[in-house]
Amino acid sequence: MAARSKARKRAVNILYEADQRNLSAAQVLDIRLADPGVPSALPQYAVDLVEGVILHRERIDEILETYSRGWPLRRMPAVDRAILRLGTWELLYNDDVPDIVAIDEAVDLARELSTEDSPSFVNGLLGRVMDIKPALSE
């Protein structure tokens, strides 16, 4: 697994843990940075991803709610919410990652970590976000 793919998975874990423990992602990130609990330190890209989602979470959630077509965030599986937030941040705020790569990585995470239906749901929703991306930056 490539370094950035591993970092994405670690970032999803942090976002998911925050959701499950009713903590902020910043609190969980601080805990992980202070005591990683794993043999390797938290990759910088994972930190960047989590911090990016934290910084833009309100706008990201608004976009996901608007374009999810009948699926409010609260009804989505928690892991899907984490993956979608991360994928949306990469699409909209990280110009270093091509849009198709951001979507493919999110779909791979959904395939590995979530339900049977999640990869197609994540792909469709992030595809819509990619399609409306030019309008969002106006």
Q: How many CA atoms lie within 13 A of 1 on its CB side?
A: 11
Range 102-110, long-range pairs (CB < 8 A, 24+ positions): 102/126, 103/127, 103/130, 105/4, 105/5, 105/8, 108/5, 109/8, 109/9, 109/12, 109/83, 110/79, 110/80, 110/83
User: What is the reported pLDDT for 94?
Assistant: 96
Average pLDDT over the chain reads 93
Residue 41 — pLDDT band, cuts 50, 70, 90? confident
State how many domains the chain has: 1
User: What is the reported pLDDT for 37?
Assistant: 67
Rounded to 10°, the helix 44-67/118-136 angle is: 80
The secondary element (H helix, E strand) that includes residue 134 is helix 118-136
CATH code of residue 74: 1.10.940.10
Q: Which tens digit of pLDDT belongs to each residue from 85-138?
A: 999 999 999 999 999 999 999 999 999 999 999 999 999 999 999 999 988 775
**Report field, pTM of the whole predicted structure over 0.85:** yes
